[in-house]
Structures are given as C-alpha cells and as structure tokens.
Amino acid sequence: MSDLESHIQLPARRVVDLDLPEEIARLGEIAYNLWWSWSGEARRLFSAVDETAWALYRNPVQLLLNAERARWDVLIHSESFMAAYNGLVRTFDRYMDREQGTWFDTRHPEYSAGPIAYFSMEFGVHQSLALYSGGLGVLSGDHCKSASDLGVPMVAVGLLYRYGYFRQTLDDDGFQQHHYPEYDFARLPLRRVLTADGSELKVRLPFPDREVAIRVWLAQVGRLPLLLLDTDLLENDPADRAITRVLYVRGREMRLAQEIVLGVGGGAVLRALGIEPACWHINEGHSALLQLERLCAAREQGADDLAAAIDAIARDTAFTTHTPVPAGNEQFEIGMAARYLAPWAERLGEPVERLLELGHADHGEPSQPFNLTAMGLRTSVFANGVSQLNGRVVDDMWRHLMAQAPGEDRRITAITNGVHVPTWLGAELRAVLEEGLGAGWMHEEGSWSGVEEVPERDLWQAHQAQKERLVRFLRSRILDQMARNGRSPAELRRVQDLVDPNVLTVGFARRFATYKRAGLVFHDLHRLRHLLAHPGRPVQIVMAGKAHPADRPGQDLIRHIFQLSQERDLWGKVIFLEDYDIRVGRMLVQGVDVWLNNPIKPMEASGTSGQKAAMNGVLNLSIADGWWPEGYSGDNGWTIEAVESAADERERDQADALALYKKLEDDVVPAFYERDENGLPQRWIAMMKRSIATVGPRFSSDRMVRDYVERAYLPLVSD
C-alpha cells in the first residue's frame, strides 16, 4: 500500500503557528485532523483545556490559538491531564497506522490501484466547518468518515465557502433572517496545499474572456484528505473572488461558475497533484462538470473522438442521484451554458452544441436546458439512487439516458444511505451499549442484536439522560432567542420550565422544503390542541429547520409554525428552534422520543435523520418513503398509512394528517404512557431495542461505503 499512501499524503502547511509546549505538541496535529469530531476521547481532552472556550468554539484550532501560556503551565503539571493526553496520542496513532489493518486492507489486500475520487458540492463533517446546508452535505461528511474508518483509499473534493450557508435567526414575528458570517480559515482545521517545491498550489481555469485562479486547502478527515477549492484570491477579479463565498447562491450564473470550479477545477487540481484516481464518484449533479476536464484528458491520452472519450471516462465513473425534486436536478439556460462551456469545446475540437447535448434530459422539451443530472448519467456506467424506493423512482425518471444497460433490467440501481454511528450516537447510550455489547460492537453487524439483553432500566436511564440534556439545550437556546427579541424578564423566567422531560416529545428537523410538509401535524389545530394538552398523556413537539433564502413558501411555513408556538394554549407544547445545524440535529435525534417524517411520497430520497434517531432508540413515525420501507420491521416504530392517490393536494394532505393523528392517538401515545410497577414503559423500551438492533447495522455509513466499494468502486476499477 506504500505507493497508494504516497498519493494521498499531501504536502500542506498551516496558515498560523500553534505555540504549544513540547510536552503536548501533538495536540496541534490532532486539532488539524477532523478525526477529533467523532472521537469522544479527543473532545473531552480539548474541553479540559478550557471548558468555557470549548463550549463557545467547539473548534480545537481556535481553542489552542486562544489558550494562554499560563494555562499550559498548569496542564502539563496535571497528572490526570497528561495521562489523558498520552492516552489520546496512542489512540490517534493506532487509528492512523495502516499496519494495524483496516476492513479494506483485510478484505482487499491485493488492491494496488489509485484512490477513489469523491466529489460533492457540500461536506458536513462538523458544525465548525460550515460547508453544508443539509442532508446532502452531512451524507458526504459521513461518507468520508466511514471511508477513513474502513481504510478505503479515497480523496474527496469540494468547495471552501468564505461565508458558508446562511445562519438563521427568527425575529419576534417569526420572520427568518439570513446572516452570512465570514469565516477565518486561519482559525479552522485547514491547511494550504503545496506543490512539490513547497510553493502554494494554484490552478487556473478558462472562463468567458478571463482566467480564474483557484487555491487549494486541505481538511484532513481521519485518513482521508478532503481538498477544498477557493477562488477568494487577490489576483482574481473581485467578481470572481466571490465564486466560492456562499453555498447555494440564488444567482444561476454564479451557481454555474461554482460548479465549474468544483468539477473542472477539482479534476485539474488532482492532475496537478499527480493523483490518478482509479475511479471517480460524482455525488449528485452539482459535481458533474468534472467530466469536462476528464473528457479533455481522455482526448489528450489518445481517444479518437468525443464518443470514444465519453466511453473512456464513463467506464470508471459512478454517479449518485438523490432527489427527484426538480430543484435538486441542476439545469441552466442554454445560452448561458454555451458561453461557459465554450473553452472546453474548443479544447476538444467540438462544437459547443455537442457538449450541450450531454446535458439534454430528453423529456420532450423543444429547447432543452443544460441538465447536470443528465450529463452525469450520460457519462457514467454505474448510477444509483439512495434508497430502494428512490432507486426505482429515479430509474423511471432517467433510465432512458443509460443506454448501455441491458434491456428491461433496472438501469439505475440503489445503494441506501447510511449515517456515521460514532458521530450521531449519544454518549450516554453509547456507554450503556459498550458495557453490554463489548468492545468493537459498533463495527460488527452481529453485535447489534445484543441490545436485546441490555437491562431495560439502564437503557431507559440513558435515554432520559440524553433527553434531559436536550431540555437544557432547548431552554438555553430559547432564552437567548427571546432575550435578543426584547422579551420581558417575566417572559424569560417562564423559559426555566419550558419542555418537560417526562412528556412524550416528538421531533421534526430538516430543510423546510415544502414537499417535506413540516406543517402537516398542524392541519387540524383543534385535534392537535386536544392531543398536546391531554391531562394525563400530554405531548410536546420540537421543530427546527431552515428555508433557503429564495424559498418564500418555506419561510412562510416557518413563520406560521413559530406564530402558532407563541399562542397561549400552545406555548411550551410547540417549540421552534432557530439556526438548525449539525449540533442542533445531533441534540434532537439523541433526545426526543419520536421522530416524525411525513413527506409527499415518493419525494423523499432517503431521509437519514430518521436513521440517526433510530440508532439512539428514538422511534420513527414516518410515511413509507425514503429509507423507512426498508427499515420498518413492524415492531421498531410506526408507519403512517399515506393515501396512494387523491383528487388534489388538499385532499391528500387532509387524509395523511388524519392518518397521522390516528396513529399518535391510538398507538404512539398509549405505548409511551403505559408503565409497569417500576415506572418503566416496557413495551416502549422493547420497541427502542428493536429500533437500535434493526437500524444500527443496516443503515450505518460503514455498510453504505462497503456497498459502494463492493458494488461500484472495485468493479469500475477492475473494468
């Protein structure tokens, strides 16, 4: 594996120096490796450096830069701290040492090809590195973490956004406010990538009437390098410096410029570094313009014509398409696309119209826009959706573009998404499971069934501890929000009793795209009020989520729910938490009792938040969409019996809302409040155990990455 490792161990330097005592100098190395984001041992040690600063930043680079020398003098003379430091260094070294053996090394010891190149528009590794907006980014982050854990040789490529995705606040009327804080890359776990001679690596791309320079940063994710591209350089025109400033900008031309930088620029960066991937994984159409750079490379390497070049690059490309929602399948006006693709058409010696044809969706439009999903599919031999249901849906939508697949077989297959268990499993539950299941249980599928033997009281106490942590978090966040909006001291004091840890708590948190129907539970307010205020069996609902700045209906829905939550009889029973991010999501999936998911079927591609909740013993209450038809076993949660056909949207939503209320009233609420002589909800706990045992191994990102390795990457390499 030595040749392979040399490909993905990249020269890079920090922007600032960390002035650390020699005794603890390796804290800097660990701080610059995002492995700490899923290591409880690492996070505990960084917290011990300065608990207040850690709670504020949750970013070890910022923490170490701000620490005072006097504090280090205390810590290096602390026997307990130094013991924890030395233990952490040993754990980190064992993890990074390939000689210890990984799943990939053990399973495929003969592998000697180059790394897999993984491209994505967003990466949600940790909330401190704000390069994500929602599920796609978190999935990409979890994919990288599991690839690292499993030892899969991989290099990932994305964009480094100076302002990231927007931060959300709500004013006192519930109007969503958008804030774009400027991130200081010098205070994040990022290093600048260098050339072999030690200078800063840059590549240049042709744009209409100009060139754009790209700088490259390295975010190390365990064993895996994540390369992040940045156009915010002084040598660029100010208009081009802005290309990588904001994730998911509204402007279509700027969005196209971003996707050229990501795809074409990412391919050029790998070539400049001498990295020769054995296969390429394009995660969603945002990255599909990578294939322009690869087509040019194929022609330079001897492909006779464009058709031969397409065949050459398709043979080792995997393409993942997620959502069937039109807004998730990027497309651009044909004139704009022609102007930006012209330099690559010229390099290929082809009319630009021939390149534009690669992006024809062929759904019958007379003047077809340039569709990146279509381009990705046309230049790949392997394509997949992200759940079994989603695979069938996208196969129906796009199979006509996969001409090389056999007759009536499914041309687009499915690899169901999964989530990174060490990132999302609550600390209290993890401790109980480690005690009951033994070391290594998390990565061994057969071990998960042992949860059935965990004492009911221990499991319930762990769940309650996570729920109480959520309650403290909610009270703190709501207090800050209300204080910022000028609420009175009397109103602020009421927050101290907000959210009761003994009440059945339903969670709902995701992007506020309208198809996810965040407002469905409020369809019949009279019935909902009765459910929430039941004297013996009350319910409370906690919601969070952002709507894109261009999504007016989504913002209106947030305002509507927030205003409902302020009504006298719903106060404290409906909570809307602002500024949804990875940390908020983690708190919710670990601490609520029920996870609600009620999209319009079949618009949900996968829906990984429900998987995160289920692994924490939180019971899913979901429409049979996305991953849930595969995960539901009849005794690990509930399915909302959605209508399969309706005359119109109003009739469909009414029928689905009635089914939701009925399931809550008849099944969910009675099961939660049914207690034995010791006060334990035995039937509920049994379902929690089934949820953990059935969802944990099947819907982890370890399983997902193993599927990609066995079904996509290695077959593409061998071909």
User: pLDDT class for 5, splitting at 50, 70, 90?
Assistant: very low
- Give residue 439's pLDDT: 79
Residue 408 has a pLDDT of 53
> In the chain, what are the domains?
421-697 (3.40.50.2000)
Cα(510)–Cα(350) distance, integer angstroms: 44
The token pair that represents 38 in the structure block: 């899923």
**pLDDT tens digits for range 280-299:** 999 999 999 999 999 999 99
Is residue 438's pLDDT more than 90?
A: no
Distance CA 700, CA 417 (A): 8
What is the token pair recorded at 342?
């012209």
Sign of CA dihedral 509, 512, 513, 516: positive
Q: At what angle do helices 334-348 and 252-260 cross, to 10 degrees?
A: 20
pLDDT band at 1 (very low <50, low <70, confident <90, very high): very low
pLDDT at 176 (0 to 100)? 97
Which alpha helices (H) appear in 242-330, and where do they start and end?
252-260, 266-272, 290-300, 306-314
Instruction: Give the DSSP H or E segment for 555.
Output: helix 552-565
Q: What is the Cα Rg of the chain in Å?
A: 25
Model confidence at 233: pLDDT above 90: yes
The answer to whether residues 691 and 618 touch, using CB atoms and an 8 Å cutoff, is yes
CA angle 504, 507, 509 (to 5 degrees): 170
**For residue 327, pLDDT beyond 70:** no
d(CA 616, CA 465): 12
CA atoms of 385 and 602, how far apart (whole Å): 13
Is the link from the previous residue into 60 a cis peptide, with omega within 30 of 0?
no
How many Cβ atoms from other residues are within 10 Å of residue 679's Cβ? 8
How much of the chain exceeds pLDDT 90, in percent? Answer: 88
Q: In the structure encoding, which two tokens stand for residue 304, read together?
A: 């006779």
Residue 574 forms beta bridges with which residues? 541, 571
Largest distance between two CA atoms of the chain:
80
Distance, CA of 193 to CA of 201 (rounded, Å): 6
Cα-Cα-Cα-Cα dihedral sign, residues 24, 30, 32, 38: negative
H-run or E-run covering 433: helix 427-437
Quick one: 16 exposed, middle or buried, by C-beta within 10 A (0-12, 13-18, 19+)? exposed
Which residues have C-beta within 8 Å of that of residue 179, sequence separation ≥ 6? Answer: 166, 167, 168, 169
| DSSP code, position 164 | B
Q: 657-678 burial, b for 16+ CB within 10 Å, e for fewer?
A: bbbbbebbbeebbebbeeeeee
pLDDT at 571: 94
User: CA-CA distance, 291 to 306, in Å (whole number)?
Assistant: 12
Residue listed under structure tokens 């490909």: 7
Q: Say if CB 231 and CB 261 are below 8 A apart.
A: yes
Of 189, 261, 583, the residue nearest 424 (C-alpha): 583
Q: Answer whether 687's CB lies under 8 Å from 637's CB.
A: yes
Distance separating alpha carbons of residues 257 and 240, to the nearest angstrom:
9
Chain centre distance of CA 536: 38
pLDDT band at 200 (very low <50, low <70, confident <90, very high): very high
Q: Does residue 275 contact residue 7 with C-beta atoms inside 8 Å? A: yes
Q: Are 444 and 432 in contact (CB under 8 A)?
A: no
What are the DSSP calls for 121-182, one per residue? Answer: S-B-S-TTS-B--SHHHHHHHHHHHHHHHHT--EEEEEE--SSBSPEEEE-TT--EEEE-PP
CA dist 621 and 539 (Å) reads 14
Whether 514 and 553 have beta carbons less than 8 Å apart is answered as yes
Among 43-52, 119-128, 413-422, 638-647, where is mean pLDDT lowest?
638-647
pLDDT in tens, 241-265: 999 999 999 999 999 999 999 999 9
Is a pLDDT exceeding 90 seen at residue 328? no
- Model-level pTM? 0.96
Question: What pLDDT is stored for residue 643 in this prediction?
Answer: 79
Mean pLDDT of 49-72: 95
Instruction: Please choose, from the candidates 166, 312, 183, 167, the residue with its C-alpha nearest in 3D space to the C-alpha of residue 248.
Output: 166
The pLDDT of residue 101 is 85
Write down the pLDDT at residue 3: 40
How far is 710 from 712, CA to CA, in rounded Å?
Answer: 6
Query: What is the distance between the alpha carbons of residues 358 and 338, in angstroms, rounded to a whole number?
Result: 12
Q: How far apart are the first and last CA of the chain?
A: 21
CA distance 213 to 228: 14
- pLDDT above 80 (res 719): no
Q: Give the amino acid at 97.
A: D
The mean predicted confidence, pLDDT, of the chain is 94
Give the residues across from 170 on adjacent strands: 176
3-state class (DSSP) for residue 13: strand
Q: Which tokens in the block code for residue 262?
A: 């990501």
Q: In terms of pLDDT, which residue wins out, 159 or 447? A: 159
599-617 confidence digits (pLDDT tens):
999 999 999 999 999 999 9
Q: Over 70: is that where the pLDDT of 4 sits?
A: no
Whether 28 contacts 20, CB under 8 Å: yes
* Average of per-residue pLDDT across 158-183: 96
Which residue reads 């381009």 in tokens?
Answer: 375
Query: Is the distance from CB of 212 to CB of 243 less than 8 angstroms?
Result: yes
Q: For residue 55, what pLDDT is reported?
A: 93
Mean pLDDT of 669-678: 97
With a cut of 90, say whether residue 60 has pLDDT above it: yes
Residue 406, pLDDT > 50, answer: no
- In this structure, are residues 177 and 481 in contact, taking their beta carbons and an 8 Å threshold? no
pLDDT value, residue 405: 47
pLDDT band with cut points at 50, 70 and 90 for residue 442: confident
> Does the pLDDT value for residue 407 go beyond 60?
no
Residue 7 has pLDDT above 50, yes or no: no
Write down how long the chain is. Answer: 719
- Would you say residue 6 has pLDDT above 70? no
What is the rounded average pLDDT of the residues 134-150?
Answer: 96
Closest of 92, 153, 165 to residue 123, by C-alpha: 165
**Measured on CA atoms in the order 200, 275, 706, 157, is the torsion positive or negative?**
positive
pLDDT of residue 606: 95
Between 423 and 196, the higher pLDDT residue: 423
Beta bridge partners of 508: 543
